[in-house]
Structure 1
Amino acid sequence: MKDFDPAALAQFTGTERYYRIAPKFLITDGVKYLADTAGCYWLLDAAVSHLVQLGTADWFVLVRLVVNGSAAVLTLEDGNGRVHRKQTIPYTDFPAPQQVLYACWDGQHWVLMLTGEY
C-alpha cells in the first residue's frame, strides 16, 4: 500500500480519464487512485464478478465494503437498501472501515466511481 489517505478521496469530483479493467468495465481517476494507494484491485475484481452475474437490468448499483477487524463483507445493493449480492471476505488489509463505490451502466460499460464522482 502506498500512503493511503481516505480524506484524499474527497478531491475527486469528476474524472478526466477512464481506465479499462475488463472488456465492459471502466474505472474513474478516483477509483484508480483508491486501488493504487489502498492496494485494492481485488475489490474491483470482486465487484466486476458480481456485476457480470447481475447483468444490466439495474443501471445503478451501490458497491459497499464494510471491514470488521481483518475480515469484511462486500454487498452490491440497488441504492435503496435491497441487496443484490453479498460476499464474506475472510481476510483483508483494506485500510479503512468502509468504502462505497457506485457502479453505473452507460449502455456499453459499467463505470465504477467514487461517490463524489457521480
Structure 2
Amino acid sequence: MAITYEDLRQFTGTMVWFRHALNRAMLYTEGVQYLAEHAGAYWLLDEIAIAQRYEPNVKDQPFQVWKLKVTSSTATLTCEDQGKILVSKHIDYTDFPLPEIELWVEGDVILLPSEH
C-alpha cells in the first residue's frame, strides 16, 4: 500500500499509544504506527528504540530529531539535537516509499512532528 506525506499530516496528537516490543520503555503514537504499517517500516522504529538504550550520544537526550533520507535503495538515518548530529547510520537496503521522513523522540515517545 502506498503512503503519502498527506496521509501522515492527518495525525495531530494521539489518543492511542503503542509500546515498542524490543524496548518496552518506548512508546509510539498512532501516526507512527500508521507509518510503520503502511510503509513497512517497523525496522525504522526498531533502529530508533534500540538507539535509546545503546547509543551513548542519544540515550540521555530528552528531545531528538530522527531523519531518514532515501537515495535509490539505500538510506541514511541520522539523529540530531539542535542541528548537531548525534549519530548517523548507513542503511544498505531499503524499500521505504518516501524520499525522506522525520520522526521526533520526546521523552520516551516516538512521534510525527504533526503530533507534537
Flag whether TM exceeds 0.5 (same fold).
yes
**Identical counterparts, % of pairs:** 38
Structure 1 residue 69 and structure 2 residue 72: aligned?
A: yes
CA drift of 1:5 comes to 2.6
Unaligned residue ranges in structure 1 (runs of 5+): none
Within a 5 Å distance, the mapping from 1:1-118 to structure 2 comes to 2-21=1-20, 22-52=23-53, 53=55, 54-56=58-60, 58-78=61-81, 80-105=82-107, 110-118=108-116
Check the 8 A contact 1:50/1:85 in 2, yes or no: no
Q: Deviations over 1:25-82 (max 9, x none)?
A: 10100000000100100000011122222222x210001000011100000110x210
Check the 8 A contact 2:2/2:97 in 1, yes or no: no
Check the 8 A contact 2:4/2:98 in 1, yes or no: no
Distance in 2 (alpha carbons) for counterparts of 1:55 and 1:46: 13
- The structure 1 segments of at least 4 consecutive aligned residues displaced by more than 3 Å after TM superposition are none
For 1:12, the aligned partner's letter is: F
Distance in 2 (alpha carbons) for counterparts of 1:50 and 1:103: 11
Unaligned residue ranges in structure 2 (runs of 5+): none
Check the 8 A contact 2:66/2:77 in 1, yes or no: yes
Query: C-alpha root-mean-square deviation of aligned residues, in Å?
Result: 1.0
For 2:43, the aligned partner's letter is: W
Equivalent residue pairs, number: 111
